[in-house]
Chains A and B, each alone.
Chain A
């Protein structure tokens, strides 16, 4: 109990110590957006006949008529009071947009990571048990395939086969069938919300909708996870304690799972953490292909139209998620190997 308390306190301290980094990200993104070529006011005033006057109105609306240092101060003040500004694209507050869209991205990324881990770890272990065998080579082949096929290609292929040709998957748009009614929003995670509402048909519909996008994302990240599992299993299998465990006649699965894998899992956790953070931001193409209302496609649209506020909000969000994920990874480290503590 005391250990748990200490962990929480340390984690809190770690989080606080990352605040300066977040602040840096905030200022840097703000300045970066302003040096990028492209005037958002001109872009958004692109309706027929929109002239100088309209451009000025929008510029004022976006606060771009003030000098940059003043804009930055105002922005920092706003962020401090929990306001990330308003998106010109959707017309909504950025915080509202992100709050609505983040669960969609998280749900997709978690599922994809789960699928990836569930397939990558056994594959990596199998490959490590028989290095150089046909199994090892097939795992390598499969990983290479997963990495070299871009997610939007695998996504479109999956849609083509499972939706268009076979008709097994539901239509690949959004998180749930458009004619279905949504559960009351509690967590924003549809799979959880449907369960809480006791609507199992809805849960099934949302689940079916989730499989294809999660699969195409998982395919892409199986490779790093499987490769790292294999490498670290090889080291672990060749080490003294495994030889000792083998020599005292322990069953082979016990040797592999308890002795080798437990020691080999640390780098996998690290990579999984990194993979998760990158996936969350990098799944733009999957979100586009599947019309998934997530944060990544939102940020891309904003970037293309130089819509400052959402891009800044998104980068801040990603930085925060990255900090939190790193923290979680450290905590998981402690569980996997009690010698490691977070400091």
Chain B
């Protein structure tokens, strides 16, 4: 071998060694990074901004802290958030006065904002004032917990803040654990406020001033957010900083590509895959698939109770017995979720006061025909069935089955696929007679569901039901301190719901989180996103 030859060989060996070393360095940073891919996108760093997406909520909860957060519990072997267990996040401890009118929060002494300044009761007050005063989304949310005015928040001393309520409200404390009442660094925020914008909405949309577990490294709306760990953060369950050094939240609109990415090991965690993909990934057994029924969400078929012929309860009953539930469940979700049909209620009484509960309905065309006869339309009628494009993958097969089945009892259905904005507009204007939608409640208690989705002339009352008895019980239940009585109220509400059938609950879809087998700690959260702080790599 000549001298030049061996030199060349040496060079090759050296370059291979260098590239191998470089590779291992890269591999290491990858293992400390969580790469999360999703179909949706983050469009603001402040979840309060109208129009913010679900992805934005998840990012905000990592960059900001709240006073309190939900604990977690196991549901059929899977971790889910626990509405009944509120733990301190920025609050070291809290107490609710015996009459339920005062909540006092004592802040952690060591809590610091990301710029190093301590978190004070002043910051908390400013942040809570902002939620109930500024034109933000949190205003309507906190209303559901009887917090409506800045007067209700009082600074007792630099580390103590007191919240007063006009009435004891079960949902006041849980409301402070939702995504809106995050705590801002008020000094930083005020420095960027203007006369037109006293709450710094514009600045906080693109910048953060929080105390949370992660800092924003880069933020490209609609593309990706990269976050770096805040080493000083110690509000985790075991009093330590978050596990992953970096978190990449990337928008990948194509579900098939998301599935490929996680299967090839390039992404660590993905949610919102197509049910068929989840099923095949699960069958291959290489990845961890955690399917949690979204126990705070319901998919239903709704009928407008004010528009003929759906204003007739017998028509609604006929529909309820003419839907091919099993086939729909299989076609839309590959049976991934928990069904809300096919129950049997002993002597026709609801089995529980919880919402939602499986309804005693199943496909029974003879019964459906009888109801149509009773309604005075024995030969059926024509109507449209609408769903929005965003839900097409599940709603399209479902709509086809609805059309086919209703044709058997003489109801002609025209399927209408609407762009999302158009669908929301028509729902808001109460123009759709018959459609499918999904609802979610962050605070899934029976009265909350009934008050928000079955009362009032507002958008979320999809079926436009107006039942004074239901309204009265739902309002009363809200402030009912006695658990037994509350359960009785729930049973009554469920009974009214079934006798009126304003809309037909179908199922609770599963939240399928598909992750690398090394990722642990995934918990189903109320906002149906991933709390990155829960996760670690073993």
Contacts and interface: CB of A to CB of B under 8 A. Distances in A.
Given A173-B37, A289-B257, A297-B253, A57 B425 contact: no
A236 B184 CA distance: 73
A44 B250 CA distance: 22
A49 B50 contact: no
Interface string A279-315: 0000000001111010001100101111000000000
Interface string A99-137: 010000000000000000000000000000000000000
A293 B459 contact: no
Interface string B22-34: 0000100110010
Interface in B211-262: 220-224, 248, 250-254, 256-257, 260-261
B257 A159 contact: yes
A164 B258 CA distance: 11
Interface of A: 37-40, 42-55, 57-58, 61, 88-92, 97, 100, 156, 159-160, 163-164, 167, 171-174, 178-179, 288-291, 293, 297-298, 301, 303-306
B144 interface: yes
B222 A89 contact: yes
A180 B412 CA distance: 56
B538 interface: no
Majority SS at the chain B contact face: mixed
Contacts of A301: 222
Contacts of B352: none
Size class of B's contact patch? 35 or more
Interface stretch (B133-141, B150-158, B341-349, B510-518): B133-141
B421 A57 contact: no
Contact of A50 (B50, B420, B440): B50
A305 B137 contact: no
B424 A43 contact: yes
A42 B421 contact: yes
A-B interface, 8 closest residue pairs, ranked by CB to CB distance from nearest: A90-B221, A38-B421, A306-B421, A38-B422, A44-B51, A49-B140, A43-B421, A39-B425
B428 A42 contact: yes
B216 to A, nearest CB: 14
A201 to B, nearest CB: 10
A42 B424 contact: yes
A306 B29 CA distance: 40
Contacts of B29: 179
13 contacts: A43-B420, A44-B50, A47-B52, A49-B140, A89-B51, A90-B41, A156-B257, A163-B260, A173-B37, A174-B250, A291-B257, A304-B389, A304-B419
Interface string B261-290: 101101100000000000000000000000
Nearest to B263: A164
A54 B140 contact: yes
Contacts of B248: 178
B420 A305 contact: yes
Contacts of B266: 171
Contacts of A293: 220, 222-223
Interface of B: 26, 29-30, 33, 35, 37, 41, 43-44, 49-52, 135, 137, 139-141, 143-144, 205-206, 220-224, 248, 250-254, 256-257, 260-261, 263-264, 266-267, 389-390, 419-422, 424-426, 428, 440-442, 452, 458-460
Contacts of A179: 26, 29-30, 33
B370 to A, nearest CB: 38
Nearest to B144: A49
Nearest to A170: B266
B257 A173 contact: yes
Nearest to A61: B50
A58 B51 contact: yes
A167 B264 contact: yes
B355 to A, nearest CB: 16
A160 B253 CA distance: 16
Contact of B422 (A37, A171, A291): A37
A171 B261 contact: yes
B440 A90 contact: no
Nearest to B141: A49
Nearest to A201: B22
A295 to B, nearest CB: 12
Contacts of B252: 173, 291
Contacts of B460: 49
Contacts of B221: 89-92, 97
Contacts of A97: 221-222
A50 B140 contact: yes
Given A50-B459, A293-B220, A304-B390, 13 more contacts: A38-B421, A39-B425, A43-B421, A45-B51, A49-B141, A49-B144, A49-B452, A57-B135, A89-B43, A89-B222, A90-B41, A289-B254, A293-B222
